[in-house]
Chains A and B, each alone.
Chain A
Amino acid sequence: MLMPLDMLRSGETAEIEEVSGQAAWVGRLAELGIRQGCRVRVVQSGSPCLLDVNGCKLCLRGGECSQILVRPVS
């Protein structure tokens, strides 16, 4: 099941399926490790939220999270 990243709760892990939005922003996120096929763990949900991407902590706002579609991994 696909859902926006901001739907995940703290502690949940998901695989990124699609990142939409402005090309520049998609590119920037890809550089930071948020791109199709990568795994993220939500450290803290809400806006801004805290994500763990490959052991690196990133902070994103809710509006931006909703443009990232993920597939939760149980």
Chain B
Amino acid sequence: MLTKTLTVALVGNPNAGKSTLFNALSGLRQRVGNYPGVTVEMKKGQFTAGGLTVDLIDLPGTYSLAARSPDEMVAVDLLLGRRPEEPRPDVVLSIVDATNLDRHLYLTSQLLDLGEPVVVAVNMIDAAEAQGVKIDCTALSAKLGVPVIPIQANKGIGIEALTQAMLAAAEEAKAPVGPAFPEAFEKEVTSLQTELGADVPGFLTRRLLLDVGGYVEAWQVEHHGQDLKQKLAEARQRLADAGHSVPGVEARARFAWVRAAVAVGVTRPAVRPVAFTDKLDKVLTHRVWGTLVFLVVMFLMFQSIFLWAKPLMDGIDGVREDIAKGIEGNMASGPLRALLVDGVVKGVGSVLIFLPQIMILFGFIAFLEDCGYMARAAFLMDRLMSRCGLSGKSFIPLLSSVACAVPGIMATRVIENRRDRLATIVVAPLMSCSARLPVYVLLIGAFLKEGYSSWVPGLVLFALYMIGFVVAPLVALVLKRTLLKGATPVFVMELPAYRRPKIFAVLRRMLEAGWAFTLRAGTFIFAAMILVWALLYFPHRDANGESYPNRIEKAEEAAKSNEDKLKELKAKPDATDDEKAELEKLEEAAGQADHLNGEWKRSSYLGRTGLYLEPVFRPLGWDWKIGMAALASFPAREVIVGTLGLIYDVGDVDTKAIGNDDADEEAKEKAAGLAKAVKDDWSKDPIRSKYGVAVAMSVMVFFALCCQCASTLAVIRRETKSWAWPAFTFVYMTVLAYLGAMVTFQFGSMIIDAMG
């Protein structure tokens, strides 16, 4: 037997509890955010009731059906059955907030004009009762002419009655009657309708007349030519002369209708009690106290991201190492093993290590959004952000980017305005993320520690962080004035009432963010890591045709067999000349493996590219070694530390050991050795010995400004659904980094010259 399918569209204002009702009806879980415009995409659910299959479509939260953009038009077209992918809804389910009935019924009155059966669900009836507001749904239903059902979506109360009402309404299929407009208006609509023909539904004809500069107008004028524009202007002028100017006529007609209905169905207490939300807002939106609370909240958030994520990150790293060791122990050496260990395990591991940070950050954001605090934070930060052409909503994503740009870019989803969101996404990678820290620490340690006051390293580090904080708003400002130019979006934001966040929704959001990151950014960086690995691995035979990995293994074995002897000789206080010579030889043999490794990297494709591109790096004060390390670190900037280790023949340096006092002795020694090796190598070179500090600064400025992070680019691609934006971000940041590094070196070397 075929079951009949019923299509129901769920429409409501932001924060009406739409997503909660959607979950309660369909059983499908999705995110519930207490922030205007949280449902960006339409979600679909399915359930069975009374032997029917019901398809439930969750439309984006909106205050009205006056479409101003193609995005908003999708919802209107869907409701009118003008979208090919969805049938016309059999029933429109209008959800309204009981505590804010006057405002929400405005949208309901527009839905009545669609000509489809409407069922009104009055949500949060308990919250209204707590405020002393009594709603008589039977009286309200009689006045509105459609079924009105009281519900509490979060507790599942009234859902059964709502389902029954929807089935009954679909069965009856009676078109409701909306508010009456002035006769003069109806006359204009009728004459406009004959002009447009029967193709355009009456609903859209009314919108065409009402929404000055709206989407319907743009669309119809394109269709019918400038002639229509003229006719529209005349019609609107006639209405204005008659005292019914648009768009005011709509607000007056609809709100008069709403007021009449509410007067019958709603009883309010004489004095509105000071709600809990008001008391809390007194502190939380206060210029001084609110800002203070905000700073404390942000501090705790970032502190916990670092503290809580650390053990988890170490755990992931441990597993990664175990797997790498397991493969190394069970496979013969060769390209395949190298690919698995260096390319796959280390490459993917270096991405997955960000997972705990991302999930914790998203847990915080979901919690703050759900309880309603996020809108207050955006309100507080709007003054600061409006100076660079952004709004308060851009603040959290930018601040998150200090930990990592990937979750920061994902957090831009809360920004409704497309241009603002793009500007925020594009500048987020400029914020100094945690992966830049090892590079800074390494170079500052090598060049700006000895012979300088103790405050110099800290100051330089602070300055490097400031580069991001200063350049990001500037770039945003330039973008908003040029590429993302457009009318300043009207900034109206609703501050929703505080609510208790749902733990399940928060956990759900953390898992979603984690999974999305692992799946998509993971696949992209996986490919990128393999590519760089291959460029560093091949060709893997020296001039005599002998394989480097084999030679290195032999050298390592030789070094190991002589280890005891070396120790013994080292410990000997009164060594003879013979013994001293032997010691020297043995020490050289011990370094042979690292030396071979360096030679191999130099002759690899990437190494050759570095040599070939040396002239490009010259204005920055770099030699081919630095250039090559910078090139190799384009997929992930942390890679530079390891690459420098390989190039300067120190061996594999553990990035974590840098600036980390807890690292084991051997790792620390190697890290310190790298700083020393870099310094020694530069001292042999005429440019870098004289201008060592300028070169180090130029490298650091380059890293501060450059977009060396494949995951970030992959996430930008995913969030903007286009390759153009990641490409743009990559190009502008690389150009900026190159210019910044060049200016730093040229300026720095000038100062050094002047000082003699």
User: Which A positions have Cβ atoms within 8 angstroms of B?
Assistant: 22-33, 35-36, 43-44, 46-48, 50, 54-61, 64
Contacts and interface: CB of A to CB of B under 8 A. Distances in A.
Given A24-B214, A44-B285, A58 B493 contact: yes
A31 B493 contact: no
Contact of A28 (B100, B255, B492): B492
Interface in B61-100: 63-64, 66, 68, 99-100
A56 B100 contact: yes
A48 B382 contact: yes
Given A48-B392, A50-B285, A60-B492, A55 B99 contact: yes
Interface in B212-269: 212-214, 246-248, 250-251, 255
Closest 3 CB pairs of A and B: A23-B212, A30-B251, A57-B495
B605 interface: no
A29 B490 CA distance: 10
Given A24-B211, A57-B277, 5 more contacts: A22-B213, A27-B64, A32-B63, A36-B248, A64-B491
A31 B106 contact: yes
Given A31-B64, A48-B392, A57-B281, A23 B492 contact: no
20 contacts: A23-B246, A24-B68, A24-B214, A26-B248, A27-B64, A27-B211, A27-B212, A30-B251, A31-B106, A32-B103, A33-B102, A43-B281, A43-B285, A44-B286, A46-B383, A48-B386, A55-B99, A55-B100, A56-B494, A59-B495
Contacts of B212: 23-24, 27
Contacts of A43: 281, 285
A29 B383 CA distance: 21
A49 B516 CA distance: 37
B281 A59 contact: no
A31 B281 contact: no
Nearest to B277: A57
Contacts of B491: 48, 59-61, 64
A32 B492 CA distance: 9
B379 interface: yes
Contact of A59 (B63, B66, B492): B492
| A contact patch SS | mixed
Contacts of A59: 375, 379, 382, 491-495
Contacts of B210: 27
B272 interface: yes
B247 A54 contact: no
B492 A50 contact: no
A33 B99 CA distance: 14
Interface in B286-313: 286-287
A58 B491 CA distance: 10
Contact of A54 (B100, B107, B213, B383): B100
A64 to B, nearest CB: 6
A23 B247 contact: yes
Contacts of A44: 285-287
A62 to B, nearest CB: 9
Contacts of A30: 247-248, 250-251
Nearest to B133: A55
A24 B392 contact: no
A30 B75 CA distance: 20
A30 B383 CA distance: 24
Nearest to B214: A24
A26, A33, A59, A64: most-surrounded residue (chain B CB, <10 A): A59
Instruction: Identify the interface centre among A26, A29, A30, A43: most chain B CB within 10 Å of its CB.
Output: A30
A7 B66 CA distance: 31
B103 A54 contact: yes
A27 B493 contact: no
Nearest to A52: B278
Contacts of A22: 213, 487
A8 B493 CA distance: 19
A33 B107 CA distance: 12
Given A50-B379, A54-B103, A28 B63 contact: yes
Contacts of B487: 22
A61 B386 contact: yes
A35 B386 contact: no
A35 B64 CA distance: 15
B490 A58 contact: no
Interface in B655-711: none
B103 A33 contact: yes
A35 B392 CA distance: 25
Nearest to B106: A31
A23 B213 contact: yes
A12 B494 CA distance: 20
A27 to B, nearest CB: 4
Interface in B431-478: none
